[in-house]
Amino acid sequence: MKFVRAIWKLLVGIKDMLVLIFMLLFFGGLYAALSARPAPVHDGVLALNLDGPIVEQPAKASFSELAGGNRVREHRLRDLVGALDAARTDGRVKAVALDLDGFTGGGHSAMADLTDAIMRVRAAGKPVVAYGVGFTDDSYELASAASEIWLHPLGAVAIAGPGGTNLYYKGLLDKLGVTANVYRVGTYKSAVEPYIRNDMSPAARENYQALGEAMLESWLQEVHRARPKANVASFLKDMPGAVDAAGGDMAKAALDAGLVDHIGDRADFEDRLKALGGADKDATGGYRTIKLASYVSDKVPVHPHGPIGVVTIAGEIVDGTASAGTAGGDTIAREIDDGVANGIKALIVRVDSPGGSVLASERIREAIVRAKAHHIPVVVSMGSVAASGGYWVSTPGDFIFAEPSTITGSIGVFGVLPSFQGTLQKLGIGADGIKTTPLSGEPDLLRGPSADAGRLIQTGVEATYRRFLGIVAAARHKTPADVDKIAQGRVWDGGSARQLGLIDGFGGMPEATAKAAELAHLGSGDRDLRYLEPPVSVKEQLLAALASGSDSDSSSPDDAFSMLAGEPRRQLIQAIADIRMILAGPSIQARCLECGPVAPPQVTGEDRSLLQLIEAWLS
């Protein structure tokens, strides 16, 4: 027994020692992460390695994403623009490297803002060198602003332009016996079409064709402004012909058309950066590198007490509270109220959202109206998308800025309610019960909503639409009838929206800041921005530190067209999100699903398992 007790004590001691070691490692790592500071900034090349998308407000990392390797790195637009503007006059920055391998885009307005910032660096006399294995619409728009564009010998410039194929689920729903009960207002409110059709309606096709052509024209103007000698328009009209003329060499075709300046692999690109910024054998790539995170921390100012408050409405607008990257109605309303209580003199509402919940949109609008009641001027700055609920929250603005490429409008509402009477019939299951009033058990998802319930929901949708028209009419000094003519759920580009009176002028955050300062009568030296965001918790600091040191799940493409391989996956993710939305009904939505997601849809653990199952079946 003494021997057994001795063994037991030994095992307990080993266990205690392991626990102690684990605790020391955990808290040591926690301290290191929270106390870590960005590396000091030395002379060299400012490296913008844009793997992943550019967004207005990055979503917070989670432990599950980091542990599972499913985190997609997101780059905050204002950090990139701030870093580039600081680099113009910073003697330490010898050049800017724009590495676009793994870049997944970010919307027309964001690309225009970042392109302008790159061109300001060039105007200051500093070289900007872009590199990619392949360039598509967004990545080429950024690259076009660079002073040098490098393309891999096996690469290509594959510009597709706006457009593509959408998924329609009516046939699938019919096979499953699921009925999508749709309640909507608006000839062009086609967000519900995937649930009731197997193809695009003529009205939707007319709207999207006009929108797509306007977006393409805006893209061409931006690229021509940045790179006037490139034969982009002719290259787009006949890319196969251009490649044939180059002997089948896609990289040479891009070079011949003036779309790129140099053909070379990554080693050639890095040699060029060594010549510009100096060699460093210990650095990745062998050239003196200024890391973006360190530079943002060093040079991009943060003004927690600035007089101009900025609230960001990014992503889907949802009820209740939500973390960054999703616009929670209660969260944003509280941020605005806190900003007013803490003495802001003006408010900029930065919108990059296709809308969502009507109730959440109204709560945000009410908070903005409360701010105006304190004589605080409000300026709206629209990003790539400010449609439907995104336009709803914009209506209180004293002045609304947008870009010509901004997608806005979509003034309309809808509701989708699934019912499963067909599914039960296929399974041989009956459903029956009693009623004490016409609305007992309604809406009945097992047998389908009754005529009374359907009429009640449709009445609610129509009443919400009338309220939407009234809000817009009062804000834009029109009659509801006038607004109805340009509403009906139709989506507009920023240029058309200005002609129709839905916005007041073209511009981004600099113009919005100047207008806010003017309306608040602020001096030229009193225009610091205070971003109205919740304080970062200790947990969030730890996750951010861990995320900054981990690898993103986006990797550089192996050839020119492998960057397009992610498109089917994104469509599958979007399909899962669409199906999840219909199953979450009923609710009245002011959402522009046809505008496309501002950011990739968030995938839950259940969604990921389903996605893996579908991908395995397709492979």
d(CA 303, CA 295): 17
Residue with tokens 């457009």: 163
- Judge whether 189 counts as a catalytic residue: yes
CA 517 and chain centroid, separation: 28
d(CA 292, CA 114): 15
Query: Closest Cα partner for 522 from 338, 379, 333?
Result: 379
Report DSSP letters for 318-363, one per residue.
ESS---TTSEEHHHHHHHHHHHHHTT-SEEEEEEEE-EEEHHHHHH
What's the longest Cα–Cα distance across the chain?
Answer: 94
Query: Are the beta carbons of 150 and 268 closer than 8 angstroms?
Result: yes
d(CA 253, CA 17): 65
Q: How far is CA 207 from CA 189, 405, 432, in A?
A: 10, 15, 44
Backbone angles phi, psi at 49, to 5 degrees: -90, 95
User: What is residue 312's three-state secondary structure?
Assistant: strand
DSSP letter for 199, please: S
Which strand (E) or helix (H) includes residue 414?
Answer: strand 413-419
d(CA 579, CA 602): 13
CA 46 and chain centroid, separation: 24
Task: Spot the catalytic one: 139, 384, 388, 410.
Answer: 388
Query: Are the beta carbons of 181 and 592 closer than 8 angstroms?
Result: no
d(CA 256, CA 191): 42
| DSSP strand pairing (93-99 vs 128-135) | parallel
User: What is residue 315's three-state secondary structure?
Assistant: coil
d(CA 135, CA 261): 13
d(CA 167, CA 173): 13
Query: Are the beta carbons of 102 and 54 closer than 8 angstroms?
Result: no
Q: How many Cβ atoms are within 10 Å of 564's Cβ, its own excluded?
A: 13
d(CA 594, CA 416): 15
Query: Closest Cα partner for 327 from 364, 290, 278?
Result: 364
Residue with tokens 């009507």: 358
Q: Which tokens in the block code for residue 39?
A: 């590396």
Query: Closest Cα partner for 487 from 409, 550, 418, 601?
Result: 409
- Judge whether 297 counts as a catalytic residue: no
Task: Spot the catalytic one: 126, 189, 478, 515.
Answer: 189
67: left (phi over 0), alpha (psi -120 to 50) or beta: alpha
Query: Closest Cα partner for 159 from 235, 218, 245, 224?
Result: 235
Query: Are the beta carbons of 98 and 146 closer than 8 angstroms?
Result: yes
Query: Are the beta carbons of 532 and 335 closer than 8 angstroms?
Result: yes
Backbone angles phi, psi at 16, to 5 degrees: -65, -40
Active-site residue list: 189, 388
